[in-house]
């Protein structure tokens, strides 16, 4: 399997960042640069399979994504003083890796996702919008945005999704995401993360106060049962994209946690 596309910057203890569904490492670049320059970390931002500039595959599961990330760890020789950070789908990849391969990392950061099952119906409108963009006929990004808008009314969400749109050499448009596979594998992305053995190293869960991805029940029972040495930090004025809405708060939380 090819190596995941990644960006490696800075020197120091490694921090590896895994984006969420339909995301890319570019979503994290402002914070990644700051953690590399201001927090003294070696920051490795990753494009997961079927996303960004990484390879496309007909298979998309948490066990396979964990294998992809482990191969990158080994290739970069990151060592064991490693912090793994994941948002949403990337957070579930990070949890799965921490539970299955605890020796590979020193600490875990999960942003706005719980280990429980999700039926993923909240993605239906986004998929409908992405499929409404006719790549064969659009001539600019504005037309793509107009096709998305009836399904995805929030401008910020549309801008996030349209970062996946690019022009090929023949001037036609294409998606960087493997849209058909991600749509087909959506139930697998909603799977619960379970384990008979908990991850006992430090774990930080950062949740948006306006998001329902981490519930009170998750905070009291679901997360501590798998991650007994964890804390949940709530960022009050933020939704699911906590790092985009409150970057300074997330910067400080991660910087302090990696220095423990």
As annotated, the active-site residues are 88, 180, 240
Q: Can you tell me which residue has the tokens 């006929």? A: 137
What does the alpha-carbon distance between residue 151 and residue 207 come to, in Å, rounded to a whole number? 26
- Reduced to 3 states, what is the DSSP secondary structure of residue 95? helix
Spatial distance between the Cα atoms of 206 and 185, rounded to a whole number of angstroms:
26
Phi-psi category of residue 146: left, alpha or beta, with phi > 0 → left and psi -120 to 50 → alpha: alpha
Over the range 18-56, which residues count as b (16 or more CB within 10 Å of their CB) and which as e? Answer: bbbbbbbbbbbeebbebbbeebebbbbbbbbbbbbebee
Partners of 108 in beta bridges: 84, 203
Burial class (CB within 10 angstroms; exposed 0-12, middle 13-18, buried 19+) of 220: exposed
Three-class SS state of 234: strand
Q: What is the signed CA dihedral for 181, 26, 121, 94, rounded to 10 degrees?
A: 90
* Three-state secondary structure of 158-226: HHHHHCCEEECCCCCEEECCCHHHHHHCHHHHCCCCCCCCCCCCCEEEEEECCCCCCCHHHHHHHHHHH
């Amino acid at each position: 399997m090819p190596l995941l596309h990644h960006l490696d910057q800075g020197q120091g203890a490694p921090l590896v960042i895994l984006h969420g569904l339909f995301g890319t490492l570019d979503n994290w670049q402002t914070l990644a640069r700051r953690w590399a320059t201001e927090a003294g970390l070696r920051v490795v931002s990753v494009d997961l399979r079927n996303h960004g500039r990484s390879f496309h595959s007909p298979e998309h599961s948490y066990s396979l994504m964990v294998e992809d990330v482990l191969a990158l760890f080994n290739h970069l020789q990151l060592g064991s003083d490693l912090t793994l950070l994941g948002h949403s789908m990337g957070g579930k990849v990070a949890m799965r890796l921490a539970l299955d391969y605890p020796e590979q990392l020193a600490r875990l950061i999960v942003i706005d996702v719980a280990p429980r099952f999700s039926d993923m119906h909240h993605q239906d409108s986004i998929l409908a919008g992405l499929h409404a963009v006719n790549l064969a006929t659009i001539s600019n990004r504005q037309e793509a945005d107009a096709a998305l808008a009836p399904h995805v009314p929030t401008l910020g969400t549309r801008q996030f999704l349209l970062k996946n749109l690019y022009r090929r050499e023949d001037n036609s448009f294409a998606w960087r995401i493997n849209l058909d596979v991600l749509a087909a594998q959506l139930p697998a992305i909603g799977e619960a993360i379970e384990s008979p053995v908990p991850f006992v190293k430090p774990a930080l869960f950062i949740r948006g106060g306006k998001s329902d991805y981490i519930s009170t029940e998750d905070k009291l029972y679901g997360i501590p049962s798998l991650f007994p040495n964890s804390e949940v930090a709530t960022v009050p004025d933020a939704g699911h994209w906590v790092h985009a809405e409150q970057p300074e708060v997330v910067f400080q939380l991660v910087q302090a946690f990696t220095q423990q």
